[in-house]
Amino acid sequence: MYKKYIFFLIILCLSAMPFTNIASANFENDGEIDGNLRSTIVQELPAANVSMVIRNLEGQIIFNYNGDRSQKPASNLKLFTVAAALSELGENYRFKTNVFMDGIVKKGVLQGDLYLQGKGDPTLSMNDLKELAAFLHSQGLKKINGRIVADDFYFDQKLLTPHIEKEDQSYYYAAPVTALMISPNKDYDAASVLIEAKGNKEGKKPTLHIEPAKGELIIRNEAKIVAYGQPNTLKIERAFGTRKVYITGNLPREQTVREWIAVPQPTKQTMTLFKEALKSQQVDYTDTTFYRAVPPKNAHLIAQKQSVPLKEIMIPYMKLSNNSISNVLVKTLGKEVKKRGSTPAGLKTIKKYAASAHIPIKNAVLDDGSGLSQENRLTAKDLTELLYKIYKDEKWFNTYFNSLPIAGKNDRLTGGSLQNRLTSPLTNGRVFAKTGSIERVNTLSGYFIGQSGKMYIFSLLVENQEDTVEEIDHIITEAARVL
């Protein structure tokens, strides 16, 4: 699916971009342009902290409004994370999940242990587990007399990224990270389950559908279906620090509510579902205990599942602003470059990439790779310098560019988080940028085509005010008009 889609996006974006005119974009320092944009910022956001920089494609700054001030980047931090990943891991990097046997199979019975080894694949699915189990059965395995063991030691055991708020931990965007997780679908929100509640018959409890399966979660359905047209008060939440999910409130007949819920112990959840997959493929076992260990050196690799290449994972990652993939990439960078699968090691690798690209972010604060933490700090100047260097120097620029949400494009894997934004004729299909949003912070950084037909690089960071998306869009539309 994604291979064809990537190719289409490259054609679409290259046809939209005036690459033949890129070299002709001259340094612009028009006082009227500067005045118009400054007055628009002050008018739209008089009480907020605003930082904005615009560069032309020669890298020259043509507009600077507090561009050196460090602010919270929210998900604009992902622009650095993915750049480091493409540089250090490569576009064709594939995550691997391995199955090892430690023992001998006699008459279809393994006298020994079976190991499922994860290396951080955010695309691992229930279907993948079933395929691995089916392969084992096809090789004659009918029963396991030993243990079924998880190896998730590729990453450290600090499952949550720093400074995750208590109220966020129930939900997919703040899901814990291990090296052995599964995703409910091809959005790749690893370590979460999708719970869908349907209002079928009034007076009854909602019907539940769970993808990929409840696994280790305990579901408490305490909700009630009420008459059509009544208020929808249904909530789906996991109790803090537990595996209990409560469905409460009223759901009107004929309505549906969907929620992605983070699982507290992703490795244990994966192993529960792997055992279910084994059973479904007629592979029996006797020991149901959860074990974690590294396969011994004499264990045999008997099966391997590889993910699609990183360049294909980029589309759901950046279009949908997937925090789980960010956190996986950071730990993978740490493991592959620093030999430690931890968030601190991965963040050092991101800074190392920035230094190698001559992007001076020494004073930046990187607390995670997704931007969810309120402790992160970057400048608009840093972000536009990154976007310029990638455009100018990196062979993977097209992959990077095509992963950015496109303003006003309705398809969610094209428009992504910009599909319903910047829809005026000046900006529709002409802004290619990463959105960002956390409490009292909204950001937008990327590329836009001005009214002149020239491409520009920009970053706009706004903090200390809630819900400034509309104001940001007005400012970018004004920039497109005057340029």
Residues identified as active-site: 75, 78, 321
Q: Which residue has the tokens 């949003």?
A: 437
Q: Do 399 and 318 form a contact (C-beta atoms < 8 A)?
A: no
Q: In angstroms, rounded to a whole number, what is the distance separating the alpha carbons of residues 372 and 329?
A: 15
Q: In angstroms, rounded to a whole number, what is the distance separating the alpha carbons of residues 152 and 294?
A: 8
Q: In angstroms, rounded to a whole number, what is the distance separating the alpha carbons of residues 310 and 95?
A: 8
E-strand ranges in 319-449 read 431-438, 441-449
Residues composing the chain: 483
Closest-CA residue to 437 (of 413, 408, 472): 472
Q: Do 410 and 428 form a contact (C-beta atoms < 8 A)?
A: no
SS3 assignment, position 478? helix
Number of H helices, E strands in the chain: 11, 20
Q: Do 25 and 58 form a contact (C-beta atoms < 8 A)?
A: yes
Question: 102 φ, ψ to 5°?
Answer: -120, 90
Angle at 234 between CA 232 and CA 240, to 5 degrees: 150
Q: In angstroms, rounded to a whole number, what is the distance separating the alpha carbons of residues 23 and 451?
A: 17
Q: In angstroms, rounded to a whole number, what is the distance separating the alpha carbons of residues 427 and 447?
A: 11
For residue 145, what are its two tokens?
């007399």
Q: In angstroms, rounded to a whole number, what is the distance separating the alpha carbons of residues 259 and 415?
A: 22
Q: Which residues contact 345 (CB under 8 A, 6 or more apart)?
A: 331, 333, 334, 335, 337, 338, 339
